[in-house]
Structure 1
């Protein structure tokens, strides 16, 4: 008993190790500017003079010109002095009583020291935010004594700041940054919880056990909260508050398209009740963006952006089902519009639950002896790798069809995977509900309906046993086919009402940045799309936020539509690399191979269709990445089982299993880290620097000890 008590106490203490390490890092590493300032020369206040690009009035400095916008420090010693930093003591901005970074100024120190005695040398730019005191201290690394020092401001005209004093060799205060501490603590505990030494990697997956149900429930709740919070990072309330003009007033951005569709449905028609300029209906080619912009400049009447236009009316070409499931009921119950970001959060949580359900079923079919730890790590990697963060970070209408289609597809496949019961009987309800879920994707994102073909490898044995496509299997066949006929008929009728064709979903009528009706769809773009979607490595830099978007798309001499891209699937979800193990373990994976082959074919077809119609967009990764990740998860589980220790100890097998497990977990965690960090990247649609500058600059200030 004492031994057990001692072991329990030791395990309890181990839980505190990450906490103590983060406390140590916050105290030492992250407060390095304070500790090193203890050895600085004495602090001195210096006066400044301004260049012609800065005016001063009542202690407020205003940039009036980009040339010579300089503060020149009047150093007290003409022979030079030792300078370790400069403090710009700016006044704190006040905005409704809440914390704000205020305006962020780009400051470039220019130094003449013993290493640059004839002319001043510029250093890298520093970002000084009014509301972040830690950024007011600009660390300088000089070559000997400084003879002159000036600070250039490369900001737009009109920017101003209140400056009470300028000091050199100032001592930054010791500051415990709670936001940084909590974020680092969460990241460290994420690694701690999922590290391969945890006991959950020894538990055989059995969700009937209370401990497994509890851990899974905690994981799902935490992950759901994170996804919901992600939808609020760019402060989307202002996005949906009103319309706004883009492209110099040529186009109307209205991000409440599903609310307009809900109004149309409740009014009993398919077109949207939005004003259409008379000139748009008479244009020879209304889908030509420059021509529309020219007519707007001429008439003063802008057109809606990313709305379908057909036969003189606006339509929504996005799938109607999300509107029917959320926006219409909400409007009926509250008489108010549902904000799109709330709907995105709802479907993101639904996708999370569907992913856990799907992975549980696919493991039960193809890797029954998988451990709970591998299952939980697979859930983490699968959810993040499917691009859900891309969908939630910019919570607009574009995310809803994809998230809803993913949710219904995963639920449908999970139901099919578990449709076979004991004694070889088929669950009619699972067959019908699974088919119904997949068929509903016709009302979300139609290409997902191709996953219905997965029924053939899933039910291959049952088809051979004549449980389908026979007199004995007539009921099973009808359960699997009838939902597609019903949903297909509804989708075709809706298409015909809108566009006069049963098979036209209307995407080509979109009023967007290129002519989708006449755009060329050369397959010569395919190699570049494959590279960008799958293999493009990360563009890592040494400057915050450290990940940069891909600059040059390709050498393709044509019109390749390309939204901001930061890396391919294997860069953001490196766990997908485990699919390369299939040839080596094809015997152990023979039951999975037919489904894996069809999933690969589906991914290729959907990638090709997306490339030809919409070009390259990180959002479209969610259309097909889940198939590759699902196969990778099963491959990992099967390979680990291959090296499972038997009755007799096998050191080589045990070592190989350890290597594989560590590799898998590290790749999962690396993918999660890169995916979340990429939310800070510049150039994204809805980039954090523009929409939530306070958060963006707050995170940037965490790295000041590196300056």
Structure 2
């Protein structure tokens, strides 16, 4: 999760632009932790706190507020048995008491938390829903910028699977040029989400392949919501923000959740195979674990080397040359 969500980039490149994303990842993680804890505590306070923390994203990175959808699997698991009775007696007010209670615990904290942010937006930008993102001082006029339609699919592909470019000198990974038919905002990147974290791709594939191994519906439902949310955010970022390495943090956290579930299912499957008295199955189990370990260490290596990539305004060579040259000397001893 740490690598896939692009936290490594935000941690090492502590510029002003990283602050709202890092804050949103923090509040979103707290909110999701509360939501997931609801199945253990069965306390509505978990839903209330989860919605509150996620709603705080309106003051950081508003797109992260879509994480409130992750409460749905937890809530649904508690009212699923009552749904037939609710639908059968839908005219009776008493039958709607329980779902309304959950709905209020989910939505009201979001509404209450959003009020001061809405007032601020109204006073400063003229609308409660205008967060001022189009008025930032940048290289282009964001109030008139529109992504050319022919660039949409290449932008999405770049975010997901822009390949790495290997070079013969330290840090052996270089900036990957991105070319579009028409001009759009595009910062230099070294690769897409799944090339920076190939284990995440394996995890998401495993979610679908091993759906039947999910012991509870909530794991599968959470995975589906995570993938849908991630896709929505990729499209939104491509249309509204263009291409930027740091923007991967806007959506990668959602895919990381689904990937974590998929890898857990894969390792559970490997554990099941290893427990059986069969050399063939034990070999498969160890192969799976070796694959996971190799991909994990590959992701870590890419993440570490990405700190020292040159060709960007925020490169380590520019803001901390002593560290860059020291690390290069360690890596090129032989």
| TM-score normalized by the length of structure 2 | 0.88
How far the C-alpha of 1:524 sits from its partner, in A, is: 2.6
**Residue 655 in structure 1 maps to residue 274 in structure 2:** no
Aligned counterpart for 2:65 among listed residues 423, 427, 449: 449
Matched, 1:436 2:52: yes
The 3 A distance-change label for structure 1 pair 419 and 705 is closer
Q: CA deviation at 1:391?
A: 1.0
Please say if 1:673 is aligned against 2:301. Answer: yes
Contact 1:607 1:624 in 2 (8 A): yes
Match of 1:414 in 2: 33
Is 1:614 equivalent to 2:233 in the alignment? no
Q: Deviations over 1:317-355 (max 9, x none)?
A: xxxxxxxxxxxxxxxxxxxxxxxxxxxxxxxxxxxxxxx
CA contact (8 A) 2:147 2:184 kept: no
Q: Distance in 1 between matches of 2:319 and 2:311?
A: 12
Residue aligning to 1:542: 168
Q: Tell me which residue corresponds to 1:567.
A: 191
Q: 1:543 to 1:420 in 2, by over 3 A?
A: closer
Q: Render the CA deviation track for 1:647-703: whole Å, top value 9, x for unaligned.
A: 752333322221111111221111111111111111123222222222222333345
User: Alignment length, in residue pairs?
Assistant: 320
In the superposition, relative to structure 1, how do residues 574 and 509 fare at CA in structure 2: closer, same or farther (>3 Å)? same
Aligned to 1:55: none
1:359-370 residue pairs with structure 2 within 5 A? none
Matches within 5 A, 1:349-498: 382-421=1-40, 426-466=42-82, 470-498=96-124
> Residue 498 and residue 702 in structure 1: after superposition, are their counterparts in 2 closer, same or farther (change >3 A)?
same
SS in 1 for 2:211: coil
Asked which structure has the greater CA Rg, the reply is 1
Q: Deviations along 1:143-201, whole A, 9 cap, x unmatched? A: xxxxxxxxxxxxxxxxxxxxxxxxxxxxxxxxxxxxxxxxxxxxxxxxxxxxxxxxxxx
Q: 1:428 deviation in Å?
A: 2.0
Q: Which stretches in structure 1 are left out of the alignment for 5+ residues?
A: 1-381
Pair 597,395 (structure 1): closer, same or farther in 2 beyond 3 Å: same
- Label 1:545 to 1:645 Cα distance change in 2 as closer, same or farther (>3 A): closer
Preserved CA contact (<8 Å) 1:575 1:629: no
Q: CA deviation at 1:397?
A: 1.8
What does residue range 22-101 of structure 1 map to in structure 2 within 5 Å? none
In the alignment, does 2:210 pair up with 1:585? yes
Deviation at 1:473, TM superposition (A): 4.2
Distance 1:522 1:458, change over 3 A: farther
Higher helix share: 2
Match of 1:531 among 157, 162, 182: 157
SS of the residue corresponding to residue 310 of structure 2 reads coil
Whole-Å Cα distance in 1 between the matches of residues 121 and 241 of structure 2? 20
Rounded Cα–Cα distance in structure 2 between residues aligned with 1:695 and 1:388? 20
Which residue of structure 1 aligns with residue 268 of structure 2?
A: 641
Q: Which runs of 4+ in 1 moved over 6 A?
A: none
Q: Quick check: 1:386–1:621 contact (8 Å CA) kept in 2?
A: yes
Partner of 1:459, secondary structure, is helix
* SS in structure 2 of the partner of residue 420 of structure 1: helix
Calculate the TM-score normalised by the size of structure 1.
Answer: 0.43
Q: Against the structure 1 CA distance between its residues 536 and 636, is the aligned structure 2 distance closer, same or farther, given a 3 Å change threshold?
A: same
Task: Work out the CA distance in 2 between the residues paired with 1:453 and 1:625.
Answer: 16
Select the structure that is richer in strand.
1
Contact 1:523 1:612 in 2 (8 A): no
Residue aligning to 1:558: 182
SS of equivalent residue, structure 2 residue 53: helix
Paired with 1:430 and 1:409, the residues of 2 have a C-alpha distance of 14
Give the structure, 1 or 2, with the largest relative contact order (CA under 8 Å, sep 6 or more).
2
Deviation larger for 404-413 or 451-460: 451-460
Structure 2 residue 308 is the aligned partner of structure 1 residue 692? no
State the Cα distance separating 1:399 from its structure 2 match: 1.1
Q: Supply the RMSD in Å over aligned alpha carbons.
A: 2.2
Q: Distance in 2 between matches of 1:647 and 1:700?
A: 45
What is the distance in 2 between the residues matched to 1:688 and 1:647? 47
Mapped partners of 1:525, 1:390: distance in 2: 25
Partner of 2:89: none
Q: Is the 8 A contact 1:394 1:685 kept in 2?
A: no
Distance, in Å, in 2 between the alignment partners of 1:675 and 1:648 is 37
Do the aligned partners of 1:538 and 1:566 also contact (CA within 8 Å) in 2? yes
CA contact (8 A) 1:415 1:430 kept: yes
Give the match's secondary structure for 1:471. helix
Shift of 1:450: 0.9
What is the rounded CA distance, in whole Å, between the counterparts of 2:229 and 2:331 in structure 1? Answer: 43
Asked if structure 2 preserves the Cα contact closer than 8 Å seen for 1:440 and 1:487, the reply is: yes
